[in-house]
Chain A
Amino acid sequence: MDIGEKDKYELGKRDEHNNINYQAPVLSTDWQFGGANLTSAGMSLVPTTNPLAIGSSCASASLVDSFGSSLWEHPSNSQNMGFCDISVQNGASSSNAMEIGKCLPNSLRTSIDRPFDMGWNAASAMLKGGIFLPNTTGILAQTLSQLPADSAFIERAARFSSFNGGNFCDMVNSFGVPEPMGLYARGVGLMQGPDDIFAVNGMKSVSVMESQKSKLDATEATRDAGLRVENRAKTSPLENERKSESLMQPNEEVKQGTGGSGNESDEAEISSRDGGQDELSTLDGTGGEPSAKGLSSKKRKKSIQDAEIDRAKGGQTSTKTAKDSPENQQKQSMMINKTTGKQGSPASRPPKEEYIHVRARRGQATNSHSLAERVRREKISERMKFLQDLVPGCSKVTGKAVMLDEIINYVQSLQRQVEFLSMKLATVNPRLDFSIEALLAKDIIQSRAGPSSTLGFSPDLSMGYPPLHPSQPGLVQAPLPVIGNSSDVIHRALSSQLTSMTGGLKEPNQHSNAWEDELHNVVQMNYGTSAPSDSLDVNGPRPSSNTKVEL
């Protein structure tokens, strides 16, 4: 008999039960200790104090019936059962639920003892995690430790508990209560049959807990690494399940849920999924490749997509997990986060690891702190290189401090430019009856004629000086001849800047200071104010004149 399904049906019939039961996930988050919140939570809690009682009677009864029967058949078992005396009916009527509801608060308030608290914590923790599945399974998992094995029931509970394993550990960490974990692990151990899964889950959960604690100690805890570890905690129990399909969805959801960690990390993950390569969670995934090639300092990061590949080897990882954690500390390499062991050849990316493997270089200190420092420094220098490409004029600069100064100057200038241009927009009155297509068209024309034009209409690289009289509407008819006189050379130089802006420029280096274009910018300003209005006036621009104007 499939208790789980039957439970659902049973509960579906009874509205009050449904209401009470479904209150639990919502209300358990409040941790309220009074009122209606107690009803459903209390119902689930009672079994924990009476393991034997429930265990004996539950095998052939529905969930609610099991509670009911246990409650009412063993009224003498504990003080918690005090309310049982009040209602003796065998849980088929809705009034039972109400009476239970009334009685529970009284009993619970009077009988708050330690195991009760433990059970409470565990129950709420379970319930919190069990929001995903209907509450029946939450209560089922709560009674996991007590209920005897029933194959279908175990399957269901296994699925829930395995999915919940990671969540549970997260929650436990947040609560900082280790006892429920013990309860859970013990309860897991009580199961028979497919208990291997549970045992492994328990171990895994324990190791997850340990590793999560060690993670807190580590100096290196980047955002993405943290996210991945949590993902790992959620997905790794899933791997141990042999049911792939039912778990694919939670896996996907977990992946998608953490997709919000960033654009680049998303793209990096997707690319790594396709290529099956390691990637770092940095701005570009290329940084991961050199390390994957097996340099003396290896950085490998487990990606979530490896879960599918690991599924085949899932059984091995679980056993390796527990072994590896003590082993790794003895090695020279330092595990910054939790690891699941290293398999496969070093030439290809190691598929199993979940966090950064760092091997100490030859002749370098193997102190964990220095290793962490080195990793951080390498990350930082990698990012500095990326910034070097972004910021024009940084390629010549050597030294991080000078480069940082350059970056600061660049950001300042960009901000000032934005301010200035918004001021320009405030004063000049371009015709805003354009649509996005017109703007796009203008942009296309701009780009098309960009390289071929001698006149450079390029945005100002720096506007250090306040705008010179942009407020006069007379600027709209800014004299085009101005462009021809003094700006040719300037525009030519600056147009090259425009086209190669994002690619890293060499042109500005010709100036002693790239930001000395302000004088030129004065002319540009006049030019710039006229250009938008001109171009925007005409939807179908005259190509020749417009290209000239815009460029």
Chain B
Amino acid sequence: MNNPHHLNPTSLKSRFTTRFLRALTKIRAQKPISSSSPTEIFRRYRRIKVAADKSMAYSVRSRRIWSRAMLWKLRSRSYRRQDPCSGRRSGKTNQAIMKKSSNENTTTRREDGVGFVEEADELRQLVPGGETMNLCNLLDETAHYIKCLTTQLFSPIGKG
């Protein structure tokens, strides 16, 4: 076997695959794809995308800053959709923290002394939760994020 890592039930790949599979079956169970109206497709696409992000973030749990940020984003989004009031209440503390930290970061432009400010900022926008990280952690998170993205793409769920 060339890929023993995939048979490891606790590997990131298998965790993500099982979760994503579950989500996909749930989504497909809701509506058959016979209706090919663009709006339907678009909605399903959104849902699948969210499911992919969610499965990825849940496979990583809170071990990474980006997964935490992603989970928080997903949760606040779902709360907001369900009930605008509850969204305000539940996401308040997190939002306050994130806002505060992001405000601090935007006002105090992160001059890390190494001169990669613009690129670092761009990278921060790409990686979820990157606004709150210094360059050192940002590179860490980027590496793990890349690894997880490639796992997603190479998962056997027809994505790769």
- A387 and B139 form a contact (CB under 8 A): yes
Q: Could you tell me how many residues of chain A have their Cβ less than 8 Å away from some Cβ of chain B? A: 62
* Given A376-B136, A423-B45, A418:B149 Cβ within 8 A: yes
Q: Is B92 an interface residue (CB 8 A)?
A: no
Max count, chain A CB within 10 A of own CB: residue among B114, B152, B160 = B160
Question: Which chain A residues border B49 with CB–CB below 8 Å?
Answer: 418-419, 422-423
Describe A's contact surface by its main secondary structure: helix
Question: Which chain B residues border A489 with CB–CB below 8 Å?
Answer: none
For residue A423, which residue of chain B has the nearest CB? Answer: B45
- B36 and A422 form a contact (CB under 8 A): no
Segment of B69-77, B78-86, B97-105, B115-123 in the binding face: B115-123
- A262 and B64 form a contact (CB under 8 A): yes
User: Using an 8 Å CB-CB cutoff, how does the interface string of A299-338 with B read, 1 for contact, 0 for none?
Assistant: 0000000000000000000000000000000000000000
- A418 and B44 form a contact (CB under 8 A): no
* Given A404-B120, A444-B2, A436:B17 Cβ within 8 A: yes
Q: Is A412 an interface residue (CB 8 A)?
A: yes
- Residue from the list A387, A400, A442, A447 in contact with B116, Cβ < 8 A: A400
* Given A387-B142, A400-B116, A414-B149, A407:B158 Cβ within 8 A: no
- A390 and B149 form a contact (CB under 8 A): no
Q: Is A502 an interface residue (CB 8 A)?
A: yes
Question: Which chain A residues border B143 with CB–CB below 8 Å?
Answer: 283, 383, 386-387, 390
Max count, chain B CB within 10 A of own CB: residue among A260, A387, A418, A428 = A418
Q: Could you tell me how many residues of chain B have their Cβ less than 8 Å away from some Cβ of chain A? A: 59
Question: Which chain A residues border B63 with CB–CB below 8 Å?
Answer: 260, 262-263
Q: Is A217 an interface residue (CB 8 A)?
A: no
Question: Which chain A residues border B146 with CB–CB below 8 Å?
Answer: 387, 390-391, 407, 410-411, 414
Give chain A interface residues in 262-286, CB to chain B under 8 Å: 262-263, 282-283
Chain A nearest CB from B4 CB (Å) reads 10
- A383 and B156 form a contact (CB under 8 A): no
Q: Is B96 an interface residue (CB 8 A)?
A: no
A415 vs B125: C-alpha distance when bound (angstroms)? 12
Give chain B interface residues in 137-160, CB to chain A under 8 Å: 137, 139-140, 142-143, 145-147, 149-150, 152-154, 156-160
Question: Which chain A residues border B45 with CB–CB below 8 Å?
Answer: 422-423, 425-427
Question: Which chain A residues border B32 with CB–CB below 8 Å?
Answer: 429
Question: Which chain A residues border B122 with CB–CB below 8 Å?
Answer: 408
Chain B nearest CB from A279 CB (Å) reads 15
- Residue from the list B62, B127, B152 in contact with A411, Cβ < 8 A: B127
- Residue from the list B115, B119, B136 in contact with A405, Cβ < 8 A: B119
A282 vs B116: C-alpha distance when bound (angstroms)? 21
* Given A386-B143, A425-B24, A427-B33, A536:B2 Cβ within 8 A: no
On B, residues with C-beta under 8 Å from A are: 1-3, 6-7, 14, 17-18, 21, 24-25, 28, 32-33, 36, 38, 41-42, 44-45, 47-49, 51-52, 62-64, 112-116, 119-120, 122-123, 126-127, 135-137, 139-140, 142-143, 145-147, 149-150, 152-154, 156-160
